[in-house]
Amino acid sequence: MQYLPGLSKFFASVDSGDEIEMEQSLSIFSSELSLTEEQVLVTQPLDKALSLLLECLNGNNNEILIQSMTCITLILDTLPELSEVLVHYGGIQKICEKISSSGVIELGEQSVRALEKISLEYPLETLEAQAIECIVRVMDYFDVETQKKILNIMCNAIKALETLEVVDRQILPHIPPILFLIKNRSASDFRVEKILEFLTVFIENLLMILPHKGDAFKPYSKALVDYGLIRILLDIFPSHIDLVLRLLFNLCDHSSIAVKNFLVVGGFDIIKDSILGSNSSNGTFFTGMLDLLDTLIPRIPASEPWNKEKVDFYNTHPEYIQSFSELILPRATTIYENFLSKEDKGIMISILEKILKVANIDLISHHLTCQSFSTFLSELMISKDISTVRAALRISMTLYGKIPQKIAVNFAREGVIARIAGLKEPDRLKEFKKIPDKKIGANLDDFLLRSTDSKNPYQIESMLNNMKTKIIKPATIEDYKKELLVYSKKILDKHKLFENKKAPRIGKEIKMVSQKLSNCFGESAIEILTKITALLNSTERLSYYEISNSSIAEALWKWLADCTTDKLLARLSEFLKIFTHDSIHNDTFLSILIKYLIGTANFIHHFRIILHDQKTLNAKRSHKIKIVMEYCGQLGLEEISKEKEFKTRHLLFSTHNKLQFTTYQLIPIEKIKELMLRISNETDLYMLIHQKCITEATVHMFLDKPYASDLQVVIYNGNKECQRGTTILNLASKKSPLQLRWKFIKRGSFDLPFRYLKSSQEILENIIQESMNVGLDIKDKSYVYFRIVKYFFMISEFLPYLSYFLNMPGIDSLPISTFTCSKLSALLSRQLQDVVSTEGNIPAQWVKNLPSKCKFLFSSTSRSEFMDCFGFAAIYKTEKKQKYTVSRSRILEDAMNILQDTGKCIETMLEIEYQDEVGTGLGPTVEFFALVSREIKKLKIWRNMCEYSGLFPCPISESDSNWEVYFEFIGKFIAKALIDGRHLDFQLSPTLWKIVFCHSLSLPDLRMIDKHIGIHFLELMNNPKLVNKAGLYFTLPGYYDIELKPGGSKIPVTSENLEEFIDLASINSLKTDFQAKALRKGIETMLPPDSLSIFFNSEIEDILCGEHSSNWDISTLKMNIIPSHGYTVNSKTFMNLLVVMSKLNQKQRKCFLEFVTGFPRLPLGGFEKLSPKISVVKKDADQNVDNCLPSVMTCQNYLKIPDYTSYEALEKNLLYAIEEGRQAFHLS
């Protein structure tokens, strides 16, 4: 064997004992270790070298000591398994000695590096060598990087803790100096996190090795509390939430002392603030908080010593359990609804059980009111999870044991008793199919699943021995069902003893009134409706069970909607005259009724969602599917058969009519269609079929291929056409491969139906018809409730108009919030967080239909999330950019050319630069959308613009001859802006959107496109005598050359033909379905055409155009404008700038925003949502500073302002710059 030269010299120097020679040889050897490859080093006798290097550490020559330790570290860097040699020769002790006693920093640093490597391989030996004691004392002597290595050593070593002797002798005495390291608020995040990790593993391992008899943890928990651990944890909680929660959980779960101290030093306030301020998007944090709360409250009956002490503590200090009750009980339903993981539900129920058993019931009984806690239990009772139902029954038993009279009334009114009684029904018992999950040993499970932890075989063996108990026959699902029946019988027996048959009076009354209304066939039901409002006005509120049991929803529908046409208006008028009055509850009776109906729908229908874990997501994303696609296109007489694009592709795929390839389950079918449109020759087809797997990257590979923009691909699964948004997962079956058929068709758009509702009767009939489609099956239990709620919503929308016919002038629409359901919004948001459901297009069925048919039920936030997940179906948000150079002088033409390739527009983000100008990126791109928007507004395709109502097409006869091309382009432009997250500087009329979405129109829509004509027509309808003075003829208002009927320009409008005139004028003004069809066609080239219909009119404008108005006050500006690079918040020029900005008028604000960001409006949410934020930096001036203009860098929203000598100079130069420089980059 040939030794490395330096290694040979080192061996020789050790034999000779010559220190100078040893220094030189070690220097050469260390260089060789740094440069030599691993395959060479493994051939060297490095084990011998390590033993000799350890001997060198016994000397006093600092240079030899440093070089020796450096060589040890370099060897372990490459071959960490050689740590065994160091351990064998007692190297850990020697290295620790050098760390703690050497005054030479470099030697200490090298020693720490070596020990870090050893601790990874031999944590137990590192621990036994008292390394923790050694390194904690000297940590602050080293630099930050070395301190990080010391912390790593501590965390590595503590994982091997296995004896109490080590705890008592080496760990516990050194906890105070360890805690001191994080007491200081200036401690780095890394230091805090590592020490929290150390403490967590220490306590977890300590609990594993402690005897399982008695309260062995008590002295240790007392010591930790006395050291101030809990107070320190609360101080650092906000910045290290997850680690602190885990540590507190382990402490409080096994120690009453820790619980007492936690509450005494203010721990409850942290729990309260966290629960009140948290949201469902941070599920991990909330689960951790519930876990902690669960450990603070003892189990009853308390068998363990620490649980008994917890019970005694709460008996002595009832104020704490009362605080928990006041925090949790009123919010039980909200928490249960908003945090939907099975783990959270189980923990929540456990907390409730404990609170009810531990608390003094007299102090908390006011929280157990009807429609709160009883409602919550009633919903638990309809769960299909047998564990949940068992827990609900146990809670019910507890309540009957403590407040039987009160709970008997509430349970009867809220339907809990009815649902408990229903458990004995065979159909109900069949719903329980799964045995409750039970861990065979939670501590072992947790320990083994901690993938980052070093597994100590001694710990695992110890835990397995502790788990050895007598074998118990596992329970079956039938055993659990029998247990349910036993529980339910006990509760029903208790209920009979305390039932108050006079109590549910209001429930019986609402049922009787509903029956009377249902059987009322006369013209008036004023007495019955008045009685209903009296019940709604009662201080004794109705329960959802009582509402559902009364059939009030069916009765109201029958009275208001299921009657002859001539009665519709009269009955609605009578109903509104009664229900639009205010109640004693600070709301109208109609609003109260709507909230009851929505709550009842949720009560009787358990809206379930489908959730998948990370393992399932990974499996779905990686699972491949074989696909066979058979081309079924044919040449025919249609126009498409003559087109070159079709002929070329038809011939190609007729020759190769069966394509076979592999793809992933979550790939949208739109990606396959996109590829087919780009394959036009044998070479491209060969490239495609020889791809190992069709992925997103495959689509990008073909983006530069010719795109058949006039064609679209239709794919069939059997005889059924695959709709937009379909994924391979939707189509995949057990059969392999997946068989699909496909063909090309001409890209087009279906004809849009145009329907104008002439009268109030037609409007009501349309409302009734629309209300019957709520997105749920007619057999669904909640259908009748959402049907009548949708009816009320649509009536509310038309109220300002219908009020003229109802003889109730001045009635306003109800606020949208009246119809919004927080529970459904939370459920929808949670479902949309499930990636498998959204990417695979397999959510719960109601999720796909209810939001689009009953959008009023959902918050704007949840609907925006819905749009992101399903509106952008088949579109993956990508950072891939496609750069284009455009000319300002022909910006519209360039934009139209860019959007020809809609496939490329879907797959890439647009990036713009201007001819002969400096600047590219975000700023020019944002400005591009603004400039094209302005050109669109100039097109001769619009009626006279109205600033507030938005753009609406003018009659085709008055339009530019290219109107169809323009409207299709505008549709594409809108879709591209949505995909790229850009905003437009024009808004379309809500009436035009209604036509695009195939909604019916009426006279109020005419008012939206021409306010003056709409008001004038209403006045004429209310007072036909005015028409004689109006001087009107049968011509189209605003376009008097267009006759509404033959010879119309000579036919005057009179009171006799007024109705005909208004109908004809309204229809001809509103009938723009051809333009709307072209607009829709453009949108659907990139997006599902109805994707925006889930929003209300005002929301569409905000989504497309940004925020119309926002706060520009100084406090808002100060919070969102960032001074930097020469300016601070106190700089005079910066403060002057904020004052100038706050005084800008609406036009100047638009100019300022366009100058700085490239776009004249802020995003939805105002300055707070602007990204990146506007930064103000100091601009150097080579000349007189007051003659220097501000400049910008729009790609980063940078505003460069000279340090002007006065406010007036700043104002003058800024106003000039924003006006002159906002549409060019010469001020960049």
Residue-wise pLDDT tens digits, 70-125: 999 999 988 989 999 999 888 899 898 888 876 788 888 888 999 999 999 899 89
What is the DSSP pairing of strand 1039-1043 with strand 756-757? unpaired
Q: Lowest-pLDDT range, 358-367, 424-433, 607-616, 973-982?
A: 358-367
Q: Which of 234, 346, 358 is nearest to 297 (CA)?
A: 358
Domain count, the chain: 6
Q: What is the CATH number of the domain that holds 677?
A: 3.10.20.90
Taking only the tens place, the pLDDT of each residue in 124-173 is: 898 888 888 888 888 888 888 888 999 999 999 998 888 898 899 889 99
pLDDT value at position 875?
56
Asked if 1037 and 1185 sit in the same domain, the reply is no
Phi then psi dihedrals of residue 913, to 5 deg:
-135, 155
**What is the pLDDT, as a whole number, of residue 580?**
92
Residue of 964, 957, 947, 962 lying closest to 1036 (CA atoms): 957
Collapsed DSSP state (helix, strand, coil) of residue 716: strand
Task: Report pLDDT digits (tens) over 178-201.
Answer: 998 888 777 888 889 999 999 999
From the number of C-beta atoms within 10 Å of its C-beta (0-12, 13-18, 19+), residue 1132 rates as middle
Query: Is 391 in contact with 397 (CB distance < 8 Å)?
Result: no
User: Residues 625, 707: one domain?
Assistant: yes
From CA 222, how far away is CA 217, in angstroms rounded?
A: 9
pLDDT of residue 1116: 84
For residue 701, being part of any structural domain is answered with: yes
Do 135 and 183 lie in one domain? The reply is: yes
* pLDDT category of residue 384 using cuts at 50, 70 and 90: confident
The CATH number of whichever domain residue 997 belongs to comes to 3.90.1750.10
Question: How far apart, in whole angstroms, are the C-alpha atoms of residue 1202 and residue 1180?
Answer: 6
Q: Does 777 reside within a domain?
A: no
pLDDT in tens, 1127-1158: 888 888 889 899 988 888 888 888 888 888 77
In single-letter form, the type of residue at position 883 comes to K
Give the integer Cα–Cα distance in Å for 1140 and 1142.
5
401 and 347 in a single domain? The answer is no
- Do 337 and 257 lie in one domain? The reply is yes
What local confidence, expressed as pLDDT, does residue 3 receive? Answer: 84
Q: Are 823 and 601 in contact (CB under 8 A)?
A: no
Per-residue pLDDT band for 454 (boundaries 50, 70, 90) equals very low
User: Is residue 803 in a domain?
Assistant: no
| H-helix or E-strand spanning residue 497 | helix 477-498
Q: What is the CATH number of the domain that holds 171?
A: 1.25.10.10
pLDDT at site 471: 46
Burial of 211 (0-12, 13-18, 19+ CB in 10 A): exposed
Residue ending a domain, among 303, 337, 360, is 360
- Under DSSP, is residue 374 helix (H, G, I), strand (E, B) or coil? helix
pLDDT at 368: 66
pLDDT at 259 exceeding the cut of 70? yes
Greater pLDDT, 473 or 184: 184
Give the pLDDT of residue 350.
86
Question: Tokens representing 880?
Answer: 């891939």
Q: Which one has a higher pLDDT value, 1228 or 834?
A: 834
- pLDDT higher than threshold 80 for residue 281: no
Instruction: Look up residue 640 and give its DSSP letter.
Output: G
- pLDDT above 90 for 917: no
Task: Express each pLDDT in 665-700 by its tens digit.
Answer: 888 888 898 889 889 899 999 888 888 788 888 888
Where does residue 1024 fall: left (phi above 0), alpha (psi -120 to 50 degrees), or beta otherwise? Answer: alpha
pLDDT level of residue 1047 (50, 70, 90 thresholds): very high
First to last CA, the chain: 68
One domain for residues 947 and 1094 = yes
Compare 561 and 923 and report the one with higher pLDDT: 561
Tell me: pLDDT of 453 over 50.
no
Q: How many CB atoms lie within 10 A of CB 754?
A: 17
What pLDDT is stored for residue 439 in this prediction?
Answer: 41
Helix (H, G, I), strand (E, B) or coil at 1052: strand
Number of other residues whose CB lies within 10 A of the CB of residue 274: 21
Q: pLDDT at position 504, please?
A: 64
DSSP string, 1080-1104: HHHHHTTS-TTGGGGS-HHHHHHHH
How confident is the model over 999-1025, as a mean pLDDT?
Answer: 84
Does the pLDDT of residue 444 top 80, yes or no?
no
Above 70 in pLDDT, residue 975? yes
Pick from 201, 231, 265: which residue ends a domain? 201
Indicate the angle between helix axes 342-358 and 283-296, nearest 10 degrees. Answer: 30
- 195 plus 97 within the same structural domain: yes
The strand pairing partners of 914, in sequence order, are 886
1195 assigned to active site: yes
Edge to edge, what strands does the sheet with 920-921 contain?
A: 881-886, 909-914, 920-921
pLDDT at 451: 39
Q: Are 674 and 699 in contact (CB under 8 A)?
A: yes
Which tokens in the block code for residue 921?
Answer: 């990126």
Q: Is 894 among the domain residues?
A: yes
Same domain, yes or no: 899 and 1038: yes
Check whether residue 159 and residue 105 sit in a common domain: yes
CA 66 to chain centre: 54
Cis peptide before 219 (omega within 30 of 0): no
How do residues 1053-1087 score in pLDDT, each as one tens digit? 998 899 899 999 999 999 998 999 999 999 988 88
pLDDT one-digit tens code per residue, 21-55: 999 999 998 898 888 888 888 888 999 999 999 99
> Would residue 136 count as lying in a domain?
yes
Query: Is the model's pLDDT at 331 over the cut of 60?
Result: yes
List the structure tokens of 340: 């939907």
879 pLDDT band, cuts 50/70/90, is low
Query: 305: helix, coil or strand?
Result: helix
pLDDT at 1: 60
Q: Are 218 and 246 contained in the same domain? A: yes
AA letter at 600? T
Chosen domain end from 701, 729, 746: 746
Say if residue 1100 is in the same domain as residue 1116: no
Does residue 448 carry a pLDDT above 70?
A: no
From the centroid of its chain, how far is CA 367?
32
Amino acid in the structure at residue 1157:
T
Helices in 727-816 by DSSP H: which ranges?
728-731, 760-771, 783-802
What whole-number distance in Å separates Cα of residue 932 and Cα of residue 722?
35
* 984 against 302, higher pLDDT: 984
Percent of the chain residues topping a pLDDT of 90: 31
Q: How far apart are CA 1143 and CA 448, in angstroms?
A: 64
Whether 374 shows a pLDDT value over 80: the answer reads: no
Q: How many CB atoms lie within 10 A of CB 922?
A: 21
Q: How many residues comprise the chain?
A: 1228
Q: Are 1202 and 1179 in contact (CB under 8 A)?
A: yes
In which band, very low, low, confident or very high, does the pLDDT at 352 lie, cut at 50, 70 and 90? confident
The structure's pTM equals 0.74
**Do residues 549 and 601 make contact, with C-beta atoms less than 8 angstroms apart?**
no
How far is Cα 1213 from Cα 284, in angstroms, rounded to an integer? 52
With cut-offs at 50, 70 and 90, classify the pLDDT of residue 637: low
Count Cβ atoms within 10 A of the Cβ of residue 350 and give its class: 0-12 exposed, 13-18 middle, 19 or more buried.
middle
Q: Which of 237-251, 956-970, 1115-1129, 1195-1209 has the highest mean pLDDT?
A: 956-970
Structure token digits, residue 897:
């050319």
Q: Which residue has the higher pLDDT, 372 or 293?
A: 293
At 1190, the pLDDT band (50, 70, 90 cuts) reads confident
Tell me which of 96, 370, 954, 1195 is the catalytic residue: 1195
| Mean pLDDT, rounded, for 57-79 | 89
Phi, psi values for residue 816, rounded to 5°: -55, -35
The answer to whether residue 1213 sits within a structural domain is yes
Give whichever of 345-349, 885-889, 921-925 has the largest mean pLDDT.
885-889
Supply the pLDDT for residue 383.
Answer: 84
Whether residues 938 and 1001 share a domain: the answer is: yes
Asked if residue 490 lies in contact with residue 397, where contact means CB atoms within 8 angstroms, the answer is yes
Containing structural domain, residue 48? 1-201
From residue 1170, how far is each of 101, 1118, 1156, 1163 by CA, in Å?
56, 14, 12, 6
Higher-scoring residue by pLDDT: 1224, 321:
321
| CA contacts within 13 A on the Cβ side of 509 | 19
Contact call for residues 130 and 158 (beta carbons, < 8 A) = no
How many angstroms separate the CA atoms of 677 and 699, rounded?
11
Q: What number is the average pLDDT over the span 509-522? A: 91
Residue 252 lies in a domain: yes
Q: What is the largest CA-CA distance in the chain?
A: 128
Yes or no: say if 941 and 963 are a contact pair by the CB < 8 Å rule.
Answer: yes
Helices 386-402, 404-414: crossing angle, 10 deg rounding: 140
CATH number at residue 1151: 3.30.2410.10
464: in domain: no
Phi then psi for residue 1057, to 5 deg, are -105, 15
Q: What 8-state DSSP symbol labels residue 1107?
A: B
Q: Is the pLDDT of residue 1009 over 50?
A: yes
Q: What is the pLDDT of residue 443?
A: 45
Q: Is the dihedral of CA 191, 192, 194, 195 positive or negative?
A: positive
What is the residue-averaged pLDDT of the chain? 85
DSSP collapsed to 3 states, 899-959: CCCHHHHHHCEEEEEECCCCCEEHHHHHHHHHHHHHHHHHCCCECCCCCCCCECECCHHHC
